[in-house]
């Protein structure tokens, strides 16, 4: 197979031209091309007067590929082999089925791998199935009645289910392709296999996670919803089993392999592990707010005169300004045409996130505007101090906004001027539980506010209109990543043998894809353990 990079098409050119352009680059007749597939597609908007698509494509030809590549002498062309995932051999001799705690991206992919290996994993998820979970979330959003076990954070699919379903990642791993293929086979759009900025959309994610559950069950795995891990049963440094609660009844399961894919919000589970003596350390995290602009403003800033072109859709952005020796401020999980999400999982706490549908056709764009919180910013040296710090900010927001799960909000112009907002402008906030206008200086840590204010001014130089006076800041965003890391060795096990800390909640991932990849790694570690 031959890969050709950097093929350019204008917005008005048809993708059928890719074969013709490929033949020209290879200096062959187009009739020799047997197949063509898009490996990567991206929008190049660096020059606002020349917004276009750039492609990497894979083709097979009925000629000697090595000879053709050698003759064409182009740095854009190479011979490549298609990626094929191969499940490693199972070296386990244990009679017990492996257990996975959590059915988010890490737990789902770990479950797929172990089920494909024939190990019939047992997966515990404290929240409900996706259909019942959606009802509970809507109940919270419309009536502000929070179910602490079934919400935006907990339930089938994990926290990523109520998000943009963004599949971009900064990690490098061959397993990324396996993750994308599994998501596509479960119902995600085909574009995720080649888009440079793939996303699924909240509406499609519900279908995907349900189909992944069905696949695992068909392979002999068991997904136990509304089933909460209470504790690990440990003897002499080895896990012997687990205790769980389901529908008011408590029971034990014998096990010697437990993957802890618990997500970043299962704070009670982290405390249980800490009390058992599991080695946990502080980890930097981020705090900030969601910033909402009109999507039309973002489109114009990014695409110029091409802003309304039907092939482009809603524009996104990624901005950062780094402080000296710190992570500074940055945008995260940008949701084009999306909404701000009320994402609480604990009583008397307010947090926000963002989501968008596959179509990304909402009136507003929103993104997290975050400031890095280093461990020296934590209030104490306690390993769980970051969790307590997050909780303190979330409770302060709850009280400030009226103690009814509305979120504190402020106009960007007022935030920069340091004065309380008293009325909205042209941007209407989308947080479904409503907002309470206030001064975010009273909600967020001083360091966060100071850094956010300077960042908004600097980011406006990179994206015209970012400091729009009427843009709305809704706070707080505290759960972009875990504030702890559960230490593990080269075999992916913590200091309790047979326990595998996994994914975002364990401090080893930062999004859907990276968490899913870590789930694959931990599943491989289970398969490689000979006990």
Burial state string for 412-430 with b = 16 or more CB within 10 A and e = fewer than 16: bbbbbeeeebeeeeebebb
Residue (of 261, 259, 257) closest to 93 by Cα position: 257
What is the rounded CA–CA span in Å between residue 457 and residue 466? 8
In the three-class reduction of DSSP (H, G, I as helix; E, B as strand; rest coil), residue 44 is classed as: strand
DSSP H/E element including 523: helix 512-528
CA distance 118 to 507: 28
DSSP 199: B
389/402 Cα distance (integer angstroms) = 21
Return d(Cα 184, Cα 118) in angstroms, integer: 22
Q: Which residue matches tokens 């929070």?
A: 146
Q: Are strands 499-501 and 258-260 parallel, antiparallel or unpaired?
A: parallel
Q: Are 515 and 504 in contact (CB under 8 A)?
A: yes
Distance CA 366, CA 430 (A): 9
Which residues are CB-neighbours of 341 under 8 A, at least 6 positions away?
152, 162, 163, 352, 353, 354, 355, 431, 432
Residue 274: per-residue pLDDT: 98
Instruction: Report the pLDDT value the prediction gives residue 164, as an integer from 0 to 100.
Output: 74
CA angle, 202 as apex, 475 and 392 as ends, to 5°?
25
Predicted confidence at residue 42, as pLDDT, reads 96
pLDDT in tens, 469-493: 999 999 999 999 999 999 999 999 9
Task: Give the model's pLDDT for residue 276.
Answer: 97
**Looking up tokens 């854009």, which residue turns up?**
76
pLDDT of residue 359: 87
Of 375, 373, 371, which is closest to residue 282 (Cα–Cα)?
A: 375
CB atoms within 10 A of CB 206: 20
Count of Cβ atoms closer than 10 Å to residue 315 Cβ: 25
Q: Give phi and psi for 76, each to the nearest 5.
A: -85, -5
Looking at residue 132, its pLDDT comes to 95
- Each residue's pLDDT tens digit, 200-211: 988 899 999 999
Structure confidence at residue 328 (pLDDT): 86
Which runs of consecutive H residues, i.e. helices, occur in 144-280? Answer: 175-185, 202-218, 267-275
pLDDT value at residue 325: 56
Instruction: Note the pLDDT of residue 357.
Output: 87
**Rounded Cα–Cα distance for residues 462 and 302 (Å):** 10
Taking the model in full, what pTM does it have? 0.94
Predicted local confidence at residue 425, as pLDDT: 96
Stretches where the chain sits below pLDDT 70 are 323-326
In whole angstroms, give the CA distance from residue 403 to residue 508. 34
């Amino acid at each position: 197979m031959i890969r050709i990079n950097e093929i350019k098409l204008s917005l008005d050119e048809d993708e059928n031209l890719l074969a013709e352009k490929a033949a020209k680059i290879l200096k062959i007749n187009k009739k020799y091309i047997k197949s063509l597939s898009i490996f990567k597609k991206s929008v190049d908007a660096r020059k606002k007067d020349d917004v276009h698509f750039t492609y990497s494509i894979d083709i097979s030809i009925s000629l000697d590929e090595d000879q053709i590549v050698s003759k064409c002498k182009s740095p854009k062309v190479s011979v490549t082999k298609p990626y094929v995932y191969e499940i490693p051999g199972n070296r386990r001799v244990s009679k017990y089925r492996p257990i996975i705690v959590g059915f988010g991206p890490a737990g789902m992919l770990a479950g797929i791998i172990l089920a494909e290996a024939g190990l019939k994993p047992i997966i515990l998820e404290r929240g409900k199935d996706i259909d019942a979970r959606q009802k509970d979330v809507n109940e919270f959003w419309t009536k502000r009645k929070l179910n602490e076990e079934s919400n935006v954070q907990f339930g089938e699919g994990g926290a990523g289910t109520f998000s943009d379903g963004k599949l971009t990642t900064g990690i490098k791993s061959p397993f990324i392709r396996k993750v994308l293929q599994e998501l596509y086979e479960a119902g995600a759009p085909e574009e995720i296999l080649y888009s440079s900025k793939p996303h699924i959309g909240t509406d499609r994610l519900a279908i995907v996670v349900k189909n992944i559950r069905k696949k695992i069950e068909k392979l002999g795995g068991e997904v136990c919803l509304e089933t909460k891990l209470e504790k690990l049963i440990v003897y002499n440094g080895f896990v012997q089993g687990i205790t769980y609660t389901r529908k008011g009844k408590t029971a034990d399961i014998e096990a010697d392999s437990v993957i802890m894919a618990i997500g970043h919000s299962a704070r009670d589970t982290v405390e249980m592990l800490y009390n058992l003596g599991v080695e946990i350390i502080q980890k930097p995290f981020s705090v900030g707010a969601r910033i909402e602009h009109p999507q039309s403003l973002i489109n114009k800033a990014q695409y110029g005169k091409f802003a309304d072109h039907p092939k482009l859709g809603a524009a996104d952005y990624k901005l950062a300004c780094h402080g000296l020796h710190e992570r500074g401020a940055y945008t995260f999980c940008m949701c084009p045409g999306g909404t701000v999400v009320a994402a609480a999982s604990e009583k008397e706490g307010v947090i926000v996130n963002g989501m968008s549908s596959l179509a990304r056709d909402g009136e507003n764009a929103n993104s997290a505007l975050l400031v890095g919180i280093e461990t020296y910013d934590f209030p104490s040296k306690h390993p769980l101090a970051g969790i307590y710090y997050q909780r303190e900010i979330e409770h302060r927001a709850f009280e400030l906004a009226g103690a009814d799960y509305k979120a504190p909000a402020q106009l960007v112009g007022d935030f920069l001027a340091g004065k309380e907002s008293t009325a909205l402008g042209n941007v209407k906030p989308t947080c479904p539980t409503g907002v309470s206008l206030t001064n975010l200086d009273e909600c967020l840590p001083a360091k966060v506010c100071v850094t956010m204010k300077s960042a908004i001014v600097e980011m406006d130089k990179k994206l015209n209109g970012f400091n729009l006076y009427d843009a709305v800041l809704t706070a707080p965003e505290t759960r972009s990543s875990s504030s702890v890391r559960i230490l593990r060795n080269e075999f992916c096990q913590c200091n309790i043998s047979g326990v595998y800390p996994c994914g975002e909640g364990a401090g080893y991932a930062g999004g859907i894809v990276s968490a899913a990849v870590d789930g694959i790694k931990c599943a491989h570690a289970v398969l490689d353990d000979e006990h």
